[in-house]
Amino acid sequence: MSQEEFLLTLKISVTGLDGVTREMTIQEIVAMIGDVIKRSEELKLKEKKLQDEKQKLEDERRNYDDEKLLADTKARHQNNTGMRNEDVTEALQKLHDEQKLLSEQKKQLVEIKMQLEADKEELSEKESALAEIEKKQSEERDRLDANQKHIDAEQRALSEERDQLAEQLADERMKLEQEWEKFAKQKCEENGEDEKQLRIAVPGLDGVVRERTVEEITTLIEEVIEKTEELEEKEQALKRTRAPPPPSLGKGTPPSPRRADDEASSTPPRSPKSEKKALASSTSEQDMILQVKIMVIGLDGVEREMTIAEIIQMVGDVVKKSEELKLKEKELEELKQQVDMKTQRQAKEAQEKGQDHCEDDHLLLSDMHDHDDFEETERLITELKHENQAANEQHKIDAETIREQWQQLKKAKETAQRRIGELNLLQIALRDSKRRNERIKDQTEELEKELEKYKEQLRKNREAKNKFMDQKQEWTIHVHKDKVYYQNAKTGKSQWQKPEEKKDYHEWNLIEELQEKFNTNDKKHKDTISVLEEKLNRSEEKNLAKDEEIQSLREHRNSSTARILKMETDHAKERLSLKQSGLSGEDTEFSASQDIDDDDDEKHLTKSQEELLKKLKTMTREELERKILYMDEKETELKLMIKKLKRGLKADGRKQYDMQKIIEAYEAEIQYLRDLKLNLERTIRAFAREIKTLKRRNKTLEMKNFELTKKLKEAAEENSELTKRLNEAAPRFVIANRKIVR
């Protein structure tokens, strides 16, 4: 028995994992270790297999998710197409309703236009009538002003002549009184009677001769003088209180109208043919204008409805009255002239012939008779003045009424213009709505044309697909030189045809062309789908790269925070060691036992470091800023500690040296905290910049991803439409194939 065998057979007490002690040889232990190694290798292989299976399952699940997503997108697309068709039908219905509304609005617009034209015609007629009235009133006003000036001039001339006549009468009266006194004295001396009792035969106005005393004759003369003075005073009062001429009407007020006969006299004569034409064209318009009623407020405050014809008639009456007054004034002037002529003639006869006293007595009586005629003329003058004043007042009233009517016509014109403006605005709005509706109609026509084209293309595609599917299911075509033979796909039989019967062959060529087109389109769609999938994969890879970059930045942040924490812990250890050495007065050198304690502290600090790292992974910017604030507070505390230590320094060298070292350590810690704070602020700013850039990139990637998904959806829709067309074309293809077989 060799030494190796002996060693292998040695027994050793071994405690198992279950806590039981067993005696085992070294050979058994070695075999057991080999079994353990084999089992571990087998377990590793099993673990690898499990990982591969897990990876396969994950791939299958991902593929299943992709298929499910595609199915969901297809279903969503179908729903969207249905909704789009419903929207199109709703839009067409709305368009139909809008067209109905537009037709109704057109009808309303036509009615409004007709009403507007009627209003415009009516307004133009009113304006023309108003212009004619204004023209007549202006001419009448000018004529009345001229007449008034003429009357004023005549009145001035009459007053001057009256003054002269009064002076002449006063002179003659003085002469007559003197002669009468002489005559009375002579008679009294002859008869020996009293002057007052002398009787004289005097003829009266009625032609009867009466005997009157001198006293009665003098009283009569005094009464005549008093009456003449009263008449003069009344005339002066009338002059003072005489009404001013009618006011000149301004731009806004209408002038006084003219009479028809004056108008006829002022207008130039026309030929009979032109007069007939003018009458024929203007009779209807004049009748309409004259029958227009206007609300008129009189000076008594009462509102009346008066036609323009009535207003013109009223103005004509005023003109007639003024003309009558003129005639009366002319008569008065003639009377005055007759009186003047008579007085002049009598004065000449009295001066030339030198009549006797009887003739003087007769002259006195004739003078008295003439004085009565003068009194009558004065009375007529006063009556005429009163009538003229009344006519002027009436003319004022008529002018006021005409002015009010003019204002009312002006207001009516303004309202009509306002209404015309509103109607113009309505017309503009209607024109805009018409244009908009025309645009909508054009768009709908274009959409209908596109829809018809789409339907036609769909029908053609369905027919082609049906033919192709019929051919695909039943027959395949083979060409050999000038002959064509068909092979049945189900039975495998083939049959020949003559060259004369190549009619169906062209159909098959058409079907093959359609099949090729379909294949090329399908290939194109597949290529586009693959390209889009590649783009999507690239975008996903970019997103993953960005995620990895973000993860690396986070790791960098965590590592930096871990480094900062390690530096903090190192400084904390140094601070603790310095505090211990300073308080106990021992040497700063550490023994082996102290080194072991430091190692324990380091282990403890690394655990806390890991915990802090885990916390910092979830820290936000606000938390980091709070950390910086905490460090600022710590810095202030350390500064206060340094101040206290500097105050408590003593003279002995050892203690002073230790305290100085503690102060230096505190200052170093403050500097470290400052650097740490700066680094943290820089990292925060860098993180903010990186977050902004990453957000921007993420947005662009999302947009690209959205576009790619949209293109994928469109490609999937086209593919689904093509498959639908092929499925719809299959039965027709079968029918065509059966016909060919027959």
Q: Which helix (H) or strand (E) holds 333?
A: helix 308-353
CA atoms within 13 A on the CB side of 412: 19
Segment 570-597 shows an average pLDDT of 47
Give the per-residue pLDDT at 505.
Answer: 45
Confidence of residue 586 (pLDDT cuts 50, 70, 90): very low
Give the per-residue pLDDT at 249.
Answer: 37
Instruction: Please say if the pLDDT value at position 253 is more than 50.
Output: no
| Longest distance between any two alpha carbons in the chain, whole Å | 235
With a pLDDT cut of 90, the percent of the chain lying above it is: 0
Q: From residue 647, how far is each of 640, 650, 651, 656, 663 by CA, in Å? A: 11, 9, 12, 11, 11
Instruction: Please say if the pLDDT value at position 272 is more than 70.
Output: no
Confidence of residue 263 (pLDDT cuts 50, 70, 90): very low
Comparing 100-109, 172-181, 556-565, the range with the smallest average pLDDT is: 556-565
Instruction: Please say if the pLDDT value at position 446 is more than 80.
Output: no
**Which residue is associated with the tokens 């012939």?**
353
Q: What angle, 0 to 180 degrees and rounded to 10, lies between the N-to-C axes of helices 214-240 and 26-191?
A: 160
User: How many residues belong to the chain?
Assistant: 742
Give the per-residue pLDDT at 551.
Answer: 67
The phi and psi torsions of 291 (rounded to 5 degrees) equal: -90, 0
Higher pLDDT: 570 or 160? It is: 160
Which residues share a beta bridge with 479?
Answer: 484
Give the per-residue pLDDT at 692.
Answer: 78
In angstroms, rounded to a whole number, what is the distance separating the alpha carbons of residues 454 and 443? 16
Q: From residue 469, how far is each of 253, 518, 717, 736, 737 by CA, in Å? A: 96, 12, 21, 10, 9
Helix, strand, or coil (residue 488): strand
Give the per-residue pLDDT at 261.
Answer: 42
In angstroms, rounded to a whole number, what is the distance separating the alpha carbons of residues 741 and 473? 13
Instruction: Please say if the pLDDT value at position 376 is more than 80.
Output: no
Give the per-residue pLDDT at 302.
Answer: 66
CB 269 within 8 A of CB 149: no
In angstroms, rounded to a whole number, what is the distance separating the alpha carbons of residues 550 and 558? 12
Give the pLDDT confidence of 714-728 residue by residue, as tens digits.
777 877 777 777 677
Confidence of residue 362 (pLDDT cuts 50, 70, 90): very low
Amino acid identity of residue 671, one-letter, is Q
Higher pLDDT: 131 or 322? It is: 131
Give the pLDDT confidence of 20-73 residue by residue, as tens digits.
777 877 778 778 777 878 887 888 888 888 888 888 888 877 877 777 777 777
666: number of Cβ within 10 Å: 20
CA atoms within 13 A on the CB side of 530: 6
Segment 417-427 shows an average pLDDT of 70
Q: From residue 185, how far is each of 138, 211, 245 by CA, in Å? A: 69, 18, 56
* Helices and strands (H, E) in the chain, number of each type: 11, 9
Of 362, 391, 476, 456, which Cα lies nearest the Cα of 147?
391
Q: Which helix (H) or strand (E) holds 66?
A: helix 26-191
Give the per-residue pLDDT at 50.
Answer: 82
Rg (CA), the chain: 69
Give the pLDDT confidence of 532-545 residue by residue, as tens digits.
667 667 766 776 77
Rounded to the nearest 5 degrees, what angle is found at the Cα of 299, between the Cα atoms of 294 and 301? 75
Instruction: Please say if the pLDDT value at position 11 is more than 70.
Output: yes
Q: List Cβ neighbours of 306 (8 Å cut-off, separation of 6 or more).
A: 293, 294, 296, 405
Of 539, 87, 165, 489, which Cα lies nearest the Cα of 339?
165
Segment 349-378 shows an average pLDDT of 53
Instruction: Please say if the pLDDT value at position 221 is more than 50.
Output: yes
Give the per-residue pLDDT at 438.
Answer: 77
CA distance between the termini of the chain: 101
Question: How buried is 444 (Cβ within 10 angstroms: 0-12 exposed, 13-18 middle, 19+ buried)?
Answer: middle
Instruction: Please say if the pLDDT value at position 604 is more than 60.
Output: no
In angstroms, rounded to a whole number, what is the distance separating the alpha carbons of residues 307 and 313? 10
Mean pLDDT highest for which of 44-53, 150-159, 204-213?
Answer: 44-53
Structure tokens at 716: 């999937």
Which residues share a beta bridge with 59?
Answer: none
Structure tokens at 501: 């019967």
Confidence of residue 415 (pLDDT cuts 50, 70, 90): confident
Confidence of residue 501 (pLDDT cuts 50, 70, 90): very low
Instruction: Please say if the pLDDT value at position 594 is more than 50.
Output: no
Confidence of residue 428 (pLDDT cuts 50, 70, 90): confident
Give the per-residue pLDDT at 666.
Answer: 66
Instruction: Please say if the pLDDT value at position 326 is more than 80.
Output: no
Confidence of residue 273 (pLDDT cuts 50, 70, 90): very low
Give the per-residue pLDDT at 245.
Answer: 44
Instruction: Please say if the pLDDT value at position 1 is more than 60.
Output: no
Q: What value does the mean pLDDT of the chain take?
A: 66
Instruction: Please say if the pLDDT value at position 549 is more than 70.
Output: no
CB 507 within 8 A of CB 736: yes
Give the per-residue pLDDT at 246.
Answer: 42
Give the per-residue pLDDT at 647.
Answer: 61
Q: Where are the beta strands (DSSP E) in 575-724?
A: none
Structure tokens at 259: 């009479």
pTM score? 0.20
In angstroms, rounded to a whole number, what is the distance separating the alpha carbons of residues 28 and 8? 8
Segment 525-533 shows an average pLDDT of 67
Give the per-residue pLDDT at 148.
Answer: 78
Q: From residue 397, how far is each of 132, 612, 673 by CA, in Å? A: 21, 110, 108
Confidence of residue 334 (pLDDT cuts 50, 70, 90): confident
Instruction: Please say if the pLDDT value at position 356 is more than 70.
Output: no
**Which residue is associated with the tokens 């040889």?**
25
Give the per-residue pLDDT at 146.
Answer: 83
CA atoms within 13 A on the CB side of 566: 9
Give the per-residue pLDDT at 242.
Answer: 47
DSSP output for 701-712: HHHHHHHHHHHH
Instruction: Please say if the pLDDT value at position 588 is more than 50.
Output: no
Mean pLDDT highest for which of 163-172, 251-260, 593-602?
Answer: 163-172
Classify each residue of 335-364 as buried b or exposed e, where b means 16 or more C-beta atoms within 10 Å of its C-beta: bbeebeeebeeeeeebeeeeeeeeebbebb
Of 536, 535, 467, which Cα lies nearest the Cα of 504?
467
Q: Which helix (H) or strand (E) holds 327?
A: helix 308-353
Higher pLDDT: 429 or 264? It is: 429
Dihedral of the alpha carbons of 253, 259, 264, 268, in degrees to the nearest 10: -30
CB 461 within 8 A of CB 725: yes
Q: List Cβ neighbours of 668 (8 Å cut-off, separation of 6 or more).
A: 571
Give the per-residue pLDDT at 567.
Answer: 64
Of 238, 547, 212, which Cα lies nearest the Cα of 390?
238
Instruction: Please say if the pLDDT value at position 262 is more than 80.
Output: no
CB 397 within 8 A of CB 256: no
Give the per-residue pLDDT at 584.
Answer: 38
In angstroms, rounded to a whole number, what is the distance separating the alpha carbons of residues 321 and 399? 15
Comparing 411-415, 505-509, 616-620, 696-700, the range with the smallest average pLDDT is: 505-509
